[in-house]
């Protein structure tokens, strides 16, 4: 809307009435448009009737096309700015929304099996692995007795134990535990795989439960891989590498990546070498179990500060 002005003129005026200060005009109840006066409230009460009859107000509105277009343009820009600000707020809220895939990933990491489920799975799995290893050893023994060209696994790898085996076990524990600790600090992919596996297995367990999940898999896995498959494949360096590769591949899954499989392959080679040297299944069994226990204790110790934060 354009500007509105008021042209008021007097046909008759006297200085007496013009200088009168009684009954002042009340501007707060007068009419204004765009800051311009268009009507005076109580003008008849201030001026005499004779003088008012000669007073004429000629409100004249004039709005050029340019000013009208300018005001219309300003109003359009204001509405546009309000719309842009509201849309920017909407976009800001959209940016703050969390990706559903990230929530699903967090839920997967948080979903931890219960203590009873972990212990039951560990016991059943270890029992099946040990049974499979015992069956292979017995079948190979019977086949060897019958004269078949199959190595007797029970004779090649026995349960005998000698004092010098303690030195071999200690060396394996120090080698594998120190290597694992260094890799956790330097190899991010391996650290993530180990963390995922440890969270699933160890989070809900108590300190004494660590003994169960450390020793049962250590005994059963070594009975199968180093006590049965290793002598069955030839009991030499080739069989050590083949069995270690199988051992590494079977450690994939449950959040464990190829880096963890490579680590398991290296560990399998070390245990296979110790088995060939000692011809005793006790050496890899004890080394494997103790290394599992050391790894679990270190993980529990390092995870406590992060939980307290």
In this structure, are 106 and 78 located in the same domain? no
Say which range, 40-49, 133-142, 275-284, has the weakest mean pLDDT: 40-49
In this structure, are 208 and 294 located in the same domain? yes
Residues 276-298: tens digit of each pLDDT: 999 999 999 999 999 999 999 99
Residue-level pLDDT at 303: 83
In this structure, are 59 and 71 located in the same domain? no
In this structure, are 114 and 82 located in the same domain? no
Number of domains into which the chain is organized: 3
CB atoms closer than 10 angstroms to residue 126: 20
In this structure, are 85 and 160 located in the same domain? no
Answer with the one of 46, 78, 97 that is the final residue of a domain: 97
In this structure, are 263 and 304 located in the same domain? yes
What is the DSSP secondary structure assignment for residue 228, as one 8-state letter? I
CA geometry: angle 60, 64, 66, nearest 5 deg: 160
In this structure, are 257 and 295 located in the same domain? yes
In this structure, are 84 and 109 located in the same domain? no
Look at the block and give the residue holding tokens 């009684």.
22
| CB 244 within 8 Å of CB 229 | no
Res 1 pLDDT > 70 = no
Greatest Cα-to-Cα distance within the chain, rounded to the nearest angstrom: 147
Mean pLDDT confidence for 145-173: 95
Which helix (H) or strand (E) segment holds residue 92: the answer is helix 65-96
Q: How confident is the model at residue 225 (pLDDT cuts 50, 70, 90)?
A: very high
In this structure, are 153 and 281 located in the same domain? yes
- pTM value > 0.75: no
Domain that holds residue 19: 4-63
In this structure, are 82 and 156 located in the same domain? no
Res 153 pLDDT > 90 = yes
In this structure, are 160 and 201 located in the same domain? yes
In this structure, are 132 and 270 located in the same domain? yes
Residues 80-105: tens digit of each pLDDT: 554 555 544 554 444 444 454 444 44
Residue-level pLDDT at 183: 96
Greater confidence, 9 or 213?
213
Residue-level pLDDT at 111: 72
CA geometry: angle 118, 124, 125, nearest 5 deg: 85
CA 258 to chain centre: 21
Contacts of 112 (CB under 8 A, 6+ apart): 199, 200, 203, 204
Q: What is the mean pLDDT of the chain?
A: 78
Nearest to 221 by CA among 199, 242, 243, 254: 243
> Could you tell me whether strands 36-39 and 55-61 are parallel, antiparallel, or unpaired per DSSP bridges?
unpaired
> Could you tell me whether strands 4-10 and 55-61 are parallel, antiparallel, or unpaired per DSSP bridges?
antiparallel
């Amino acid at each position: 809307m354009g500007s509105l002005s008021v042209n008021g003129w007097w046909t008759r005026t006297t200085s007496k009435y013009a200088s009168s200060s009684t009954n002042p005009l009340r501007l707060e109840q007068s009419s204004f448009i765009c800051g311009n006066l268009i009507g005076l409230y109580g003008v008849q009460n201030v001026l005499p009737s004779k003088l008012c009859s000669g007073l004429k107000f000629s409100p004249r509105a004039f709005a050029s096309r340019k000013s009208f277009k300018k005001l219309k343009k300003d109003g359009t820009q204001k509405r546009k700015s309000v719309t842009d600000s509201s849309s920017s707020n909407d976009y800001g809220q959209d940016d703050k929304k969390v990706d559903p895939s990230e929530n699903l990933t967090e839920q997967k990491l948080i979903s931890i099996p219960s203590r009873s489920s972990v212990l039951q799975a560990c016991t059943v799995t270890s029992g099946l692995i040990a049974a499979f290893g015992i069956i292979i050893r017995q079948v190979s023994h019977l086949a060897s007795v019958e004269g078949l060209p199959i190595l007797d696994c029970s004779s090649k790898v026995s349960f005998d134990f000698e004092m010098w085996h303690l030195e071999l076990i200690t060396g394996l524990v120090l080698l594998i535990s120190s290597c694992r600790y260094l890799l956790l600090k330097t190899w991010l992919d391996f650290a993530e795989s180990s963390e995922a596996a440890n969270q699933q297995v160890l989070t809900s367990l108590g300190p004494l439960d660590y003994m169960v999940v450390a020793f049962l898999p250590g005994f059963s896995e070594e009975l199968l891989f180093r006590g049965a498959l290793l002598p069955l494949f030839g009991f030499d360096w080739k069989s050590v590498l083949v069995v270690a590769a199988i051992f590494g591949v079977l450690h994939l899954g449950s959040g464990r990546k190829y880096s963890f499989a490579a680590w398991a392959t290296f560990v399998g080679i070390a245990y296979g070498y110790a088995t060939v040297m000692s011809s005793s299944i006790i050496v890899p069994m004890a080394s494997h179990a103790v290394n599992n226990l050391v790894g679990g204790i270190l993980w529990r110790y390092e995870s406590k500060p992060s939980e307290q934060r």
